[in-house]
Chain A
């Protein structure tokens, strides 16, 4: 499918058990989960519940799309959750009671996110800071700035239309789901059908070879960090619409969840391998598991335990290595 994937594919037969399980394992796992969930609770497969799950999954899906781009170029973004909350706080800074400022909020959020992404990418490529530390530091800085602005207290001056972003329906489906679909289609097209996508895979698979082929690995990498942050910023606004009030910790846990979902969806932490579709499958599996934990009568905290086991298991399954 892509230049980067060819060598890996050539070693394994298309029909070997390993190749088959890597291609269809997650899909089968998802079907298994759905069957278990349907048995565990008769209300699970009711359209209203499924729609509810999808609404909940949409903001996470947006973040995972972005995280995928960063992981493809051998990176990692731990600042996404902190950025989501910062964008949410930024939305309150307008102190608006009418919906007319919502476009302005979106523009401001995207600009802020792009700047954050650029700084992350610049630190990683031009200063040689490890992605882990650069985005960790960014996470702490955003957190400090956010708390310094709010003084630690939650705020709720939001235009009423923000709630509509999460609950409104078009053709029977939630707005945030439509938005996710548009973002996924656009980014999927960019990644799998455009020249830039091929360059991203090449840079992720082998930066040196990419450079020798006339590409600019640094520019491609920075762009991936910008895409990641912008996705997280948009995800933050939609999550804000979903939860309604701005706490300083809105989105907390999304950094872990987005990495778990992407890794589960087959995006290799060693870079250069994975797809938008796989990443979204990872989101579906994660959301169903979280729901299943509740349906089976376990306490919510058990989600942490199950997520932890899954992240290690999935990483071992795909034999991913992180640079």
Chain B
């Protein structure tokens, strides 16, 4: 591993993308060899249904990690939004558009609140979002302890429908990531994330409104959590306060696997996209090969350590 990293270092390549691509290729080949059904269009459709939730949540996490922060409230927020949507739509099945609008505005506002708390209290985001996550989770549980509610069949189309054979979920994932990539690379506000992540002080001296960028980034993370929840509720059909519990941690894996380093300032959405693809395909392949789903956790933990250990080697 070290030797390979050294080669990349000397040639100033982007090892994280390449490593992930190589791993993806290995996965596709072994997956195809293990099962005839692995490389089918139907399996890719299923894959996208699962990927869109993790993908959009991880996208939000990418923004936050880029500025050197972390958002541990994503899972609790996703759970809260699914509970809201399933309950609201059970009560008013026709109000799909207003329900989605309220959900997105609400999740963005909660995300912004994380940013505001981080900036004003000057407490590390790990603590702030751990705290707000606990509050959101408690409030959701007080409202509804068990999974419940329902969504109209039209809403479920979001998860299962397609245009000309291309699933909505795949379209949404690609469009959202493309927009996010364009924003990060091509606009002033997007690029300012890298400044803030590189050094708060240097960014401030260069005229970047660090506080404003921080609040914006956490708001975006909240918005992403809201979008992820919409796709999740479309797939499962119920609101579940606990459904996001593992999502917070899962949302970090693709980001670090994709090469966005935790101290901020380096990385991007393409890496996260590849990371999401890798994690989802790996889980799908483990399912196909009949490995107990419990080992998927072990594999995920090992991936995190390997990815982070490798990136550290590169930096030194």
Which A residues lie at the B interface, using CB under 8 A?
Answer: 76, 123, 127-130, 132-134, 136-141, 143-145, 147-148, 152, 256, 259, 263, 269, 299, 301-312, 315-316, 319-322
Contact = CB atoms under 8 A, between A and B. Distances in A.
Nearest to B140: A301
Interface of B: 70, 117, 121-124, 126-128, 130-139, 141-142, 145, 249, 252, 256, 262, 292, 294-302, 304-305, 308-309, 312, 316
8 contacts: A127-B305, A128-B312, A136-B252, A140-B298, A144-B301, A305-B135, A308-B134, A315-B127
Contact of A269 (B127, B299, B305): B127
Contacts of B135: 304-305, 308-309
B309 A127 contact: yes
B308 A133 contact: yes
Contacts of A145: 294, 298
Contact of A312 (B131, B136, B145, B252): B131
B249 A140 contact: yes
B138 A308 contact: yes
Contact of B301 (A140, A263, A301, A322): A140
A304 B70 contact: no
Classify the secondary structure of A's interface with B. helix
Contact of A316 (B122, B133, B262): B122
Nearest to A147: B294
Contact of B124 (A143, A269, A310): A269
A144 B297 contact: yes
Contacts of B137: 304
A301 B136 CA distance: 11
B305 A137 contact: yes
Contact of A304 (B134, B294, B301): B134
A180 B122 CA distance: 34
A136 to B, nearest CB: 6
Given A137-B300, A141-B302, 15 more contacts: A123-B309, A129-B308, A129-B312, A137-B301, A148-B294, A269-B124, A305-B142, A308-B131, A309-B131, A311-B130, A315-B121, A315-B131, A319-B122, A321-B124, A322-B124
A305 B124 contact: no
A132 B130 CA distance: 13
B304 A137 contact: yes
Contact of A129 (B70, B126, B305): B305
B71 to A, nearest CB: 13
A259 to B, nearest CB: 8
A308 B133 contact: yes
B305 A123 contact: yes
A307 B134 contact: yes
- The 8 tightest CB contacts between A and B, nearest first, are A304-B138, A144-B297, A308-B134, A144-B298, A141-B301, A308-B135, A312-B131, A147-B294
Nearest to B133: A308
B126 A132 contact: yes
A155 B46 CA distance: 35
Contact of B295 (A132, A133, A148, A319): A148
B10 to A, nearest CB: 20
A320 B124 contact: yes
A310 B134 CA distance: 10
Contacts of B305: 123, 127, 129, 133-134, 137
Nearest to B309: A127
A299 B142 contact: yes
A190 to B, nearest CB: 27
B131 A311 contact: yes
A256 B305 CA distance: 22
Given A308-B135, A308-B138, A136 B304 contact: yes
Nearest to A319: B122
Contacts of B131: 307-312, 315
Nearest to B303: A137
Given A144-B297, A301-B138, A305-B139, A311 B308 contact: no
A5 to B, nearest CB: 21
Contacts of A305: 134-135, 138-139, 142
B186 to A, nearest CB: 30
B126 A312 contact: no
Given A129-B309, A304-B138, A152 B304 contact: no
Nearest to B296: A144
A133 B260 CA distance: 13
Contacts of A137: 300-302, 304-305, 308
Given A129-B305, A304-B137, A308-B138, A140 B300 contact: yes
A303 B139 CA distance: 10
B146 to A, nearest CB: 12
B256 A141 contact: no
A304 B130 CA distance: 11
A308 B117 CA distance: 13
